[in-house]
Amino acid sequence: MSQPKVAQKAPYAVEVEEGKTYYWCACGQSSNQPFCSGAHRGTEFRPVAFTAEETKQVYLCGCKQTKNQPFCDGTHKKIE
């Protein structure tokens, strides 16, 4: 399996709305980070859909290496 492109070595702080579904970019190539723009087409990557349980700020992974997709788990601190 290919490795995703590191979009940034920090999480994206975004406001999400309760009940709304979002599509997190898993490939790292989206022009609409941290959300999917369709740039994964033709690759093995697929966006990760999630529905916000409440309206609040969340931290979405920017390095694309998290074990808790789509949320940041601090893995970016270990990337050189």
Q: Supply the pLDDT for residue 80.
A: 81
Mean per-residue pLDDT, 54-79: 97
DSSP 36: -
- Range(s) of the domain holding residue 7: 1-80
pTM for this entry: 0.94
> pLDDT, tens digit, for every residue of 5-58?
999 999 999 999 999 999 999 999 999 999 999 999 999 999 999 999 999 999
Which of 4, 40, 34, 30 minimizes the C-alpha distance to 16?
Answer: 34
Which of 40, 52, 35, 50 minimizes the C-alpha distance to 5?
Answer: 40
Q: How many domains does one find in the chain? A: 1
Look at the block and give the residue holding tokens 């990760």. 48
Residue 2: pLDDT above 90?
no
Residue 1: pLDDT above 90?
no
Q: How far apart are CA 40 and CA 48, in angstroms?
A: 12
